[in-house]
Structure formats: structure tokens, C-alpha cells
Chains A and B, each alone.
Chain A
Amino acid sequence: MKMTKILLCAVVVGAMAFTAKQASAFPLALKTESGTMNLTGTYGPLGDPSLTSNKIAKVSYNLKKVLACITNELQLRGTNSTTPLNYTFMYDPYTQICFLTNADGYFVNLTSSNIATVFLDDVVTSFKGSGNGGSEKDLINVELWIHNVRPPQSEISVQFDAFGPGTISASENGNTGIAKMTITEKGIGFTDFNNSDEGIITGSTFTFTGTGTPGENQLPFSIYWWNVLD
């Protein structure tokens, strides 16, 4: 009887620990995203004598434009006809989910909605400290892909696929247990705007940043990424 109770307690404690780890999250807010789209609208067929010259069309985008496309897409899908004004685009590097949310409980999973995905492809790491606080600085190859979103007044979807080298900076206060993390990218990308045949992003950049309480063994992030996520 006593052994049964002990086993039962062990199972309950184990389940609680597992649940706590599953629940732990470290959402980072998308603070900046910008780049220049370089577009070839139409290539045309081989041997067309009327094609004697072509110019690359250039337009810029920033976070306001990206969010306008995402919220318009959600409205068109009927996912959220009333997007709140104070929403934020978030990414959780531990669950690898992108979502729109706000302080009032609004939530749309953009990754399962096939709208936004972050790929963390490569990480080389440097860190110091222990469970009593520390800091981390990694070099990464990262990609933020916004796709299948229709801009306002348009039925043609646009893609912002920014990728390239970047950094992860993280630090944890040993006294409070609160950590800060920032993910940045400065690179290039692929884009598709207004039915363009081809599109390249130059000067792509984005920044995710946030604070949170990481779960056990979740920092250094690079170690977690190598063992759990990669």
C-alpha cells in the first residue's frame, strides 16, 4: 500500500514537471522588419522581338506593411474580422510558433495557419555563466517566411521571405530568474509581389525581442536548440 502511494506521488510529480516544461514559453515580439523588394514583373517568352529592354522594379516594405497584409489575410479568411489595434506579432523560439496576440487574450496561430514560419537553421554559440545567471551570444542562420497573405485591396498574395546571418543575444538575471532574448537578421531574401515572375529582397532585416522566465535547461538557448529543436 505504501509503495503504491509512493509510486502514485512520483507519477503525479513527474506529470506536473512535464506539464510545467511544456507550458514554459518565451515569446519574443517582432519589433522590426524591413527590406527592399527587387522585382521582375514579367519575363516573357524566348525569342520575343518586342522584348528589347527591362528594368528592375524596386519597392520597400516595413513592419507596418507586413502586418497590414497579415491582418488583411486573416480578415479575408474570416479568422478574425475584428483584429484588435494593440496586437503584436510574436515568435516563441522554444515552441517555434509564430502568432498574433494581445494582452486581452487575443490569439491567432500564424504557423498552423500557413502564414508565418521561422527556420533556425544553424547556430554557433558562445556563452558564460550558469543556472545562477549568465549571458549568451550566438551567430545564426535564420529565416522568417511570411507567405500566403493578400495585401489590402488585392486578391494576389505576397511573400516576404527574409533569410541570412543573424545573432541571438540572451542574458539571465540570476537574482530574478528573468531572461532577455533578442534574435536579429541582416541578409537577403525571396519575395513575390503583385504577380511578379521573380523577386529578391536586399537589405532584409528583422528583430525579435522579449523577456521571460525560461524553463529548466532552456538556457543557453543554443544547447536547447542543438539537443531538442534541431
Chain B
Amino acid sequence: MRPKFVLALFLSAVLASGVVLYLKQYLGLGKLAPMPAAPESATLVTAAAPKTVISTVLSSNAVSEPAPVPAAPPARPLTEEQRQGVVDAEVERLQQLSMKDDPASLSNILADLTNPEKEVRDAAIEAAKEFGSSNAIPTLKAVAMNTADTEEQIALLEAASFLAVPEMDFNTPAPVRTPEQIQARNERDARRRSKMQQGLPNSESQSPNQGQSANQ
């Protein structure tokens, strides 16, 4: 009986030691709590976070133990209305970017050429044309080569061709005209004006959101 008891006690002790070693090695129990993160890294982490989050994180730096990281909630599939809202917002963003001139805006536009949503990709092609930089040509061609949709491929290549054409230059000197040429030109303008008079919608109506009217 006594050797059996000693053996059981010994095995229990070995098992308990094993558990303690395992917990030390893999779960970090018994170790000292990690030092708070350096101020630089804290700034980097919180730079893009909202102010409320920043204050929370900064105050947590004073505590010796790191804050527990909450598990991310499972992503819910968007409803059709929500999905369309996201698409509309991205299209609007692209249209705003297209009116700028900086390289970062062009990069953001070109990134959306491979967006999963076709509506966004189409808007990105138009935005690239509106942005008006020939720097977009290689990307447009490269994306076209990797696109299975024929219509989209054509649109991408047409956009690349469009950007290869020089933009209209307001400083180009106009050619000198002979009196006959001026006469012919005036007649052509008159024909077009006549067309406009025939089809001109009622221009008396005013938009209800008008403020300081400056009509002529």
C-alpha cells in the first residue's frame, strides 16, 4: 500500500509540474506584465482613431496590464439598400477625387479600377478620364489585360486612348480668318442658333433653390 501511495503522489506532482510549466510557457502566467508601449508607437496606433478612442488608449497606457482585445463581431452581410449606399458613397468620392490634381487622388481612383462592384469600377474609369493625367494610362491598360468583361475592357482601353490625346490648350493662337471664312462661320453659327431657338425649353422657369439670382 505505501509504495502505491508514494507512486500516486509522485505522478500527481509530476502532472502538477507539467501543468505549471505549460501555463508559464504558453499563457505567460507568472511572468511580469509587459511594459507600456513607447509613446511613439502609441501615437502611431491612435493617429487614425477618433478622439474618444485616443483618450481611452492613452489612459490605458498608465495601467501595467494591456487592455483585453474584444473579439471582432462576425461580419453581417449588407442588405441591398446598404450595399447600394456604400457603392453610391464610393462613386461620389471618386467624382470628388476626379476634380483634384494631386497624385494621391489619382492613386485612389486607380485603386478602384479593380473594386468588386462594377458600378464603382465604371465610375473609376470615368474619374480617371476626368482627372486627366496620362500617368493613368499604364494602369488602365494593365487592368484591361486582366479583365474578363469585354465591355469593361473596351472602356478601359478607350479611357487610355482618351488620356493619350493632349488636353485642349486655351493659349493656342487662333488662325487668321479671311472675310469669306468669317462669313461662312457666321452662317453656320446662325443655323445652330436657329436650331436652339426652335427647341429651347421654357427658360422663364426658375429653380426653387435659387438664392442670389444673377440671370442675364
Contact = CB atoms under 8 A, between A and B. Distances in A.
B34 interface: no
A111 interface: yes
A25 interface: yes
A31 to B, nearest CB: 5
B170 A101 contact: no
B206 interface: yes
Interface residues of B, number: 48
A23 B207 CA distance: 8
Contact of A97 (B95, B192, B203): B203
A97 B206 contact: yes
B210 interface: yes
A92 B207 contact: yes
Given A41-B175, A107-B214, A195-B185, A23 B200 contact: no
A53 to B, nearest CB: 16
Contacts of A147: 192, 196
Interface size class of A (residues with CB under 8 A): 35 or more
A91 to B, nearest CB: 10
Given A60-B163, A79-B216, A195-B177, 10 more contacts: A32-B127, A59-B165, A59-B166, A59-B167, A97-B201, A106-B211, A108-B215, A111-B203, A112-B204, A194-B172
Interface of B: 88, 95, 98-99, 126-127, 129-130, 132, 158, 162-163, 165-172, 174-175, 177, 180-181, 184-185, 189, 192, 196, 199-216
Interface of A: 23-25, 27, 31-32, 34, 36-37, 41-43, 45, 58-65, 68, 77, 79-80, 90, 92, 95-97, 99, 101, 104-109, 111-114, 117-119, 145, 147, 151-154, 156, 159, 161, 180, 190, 192-195, 197, 203, 205, 207, 229
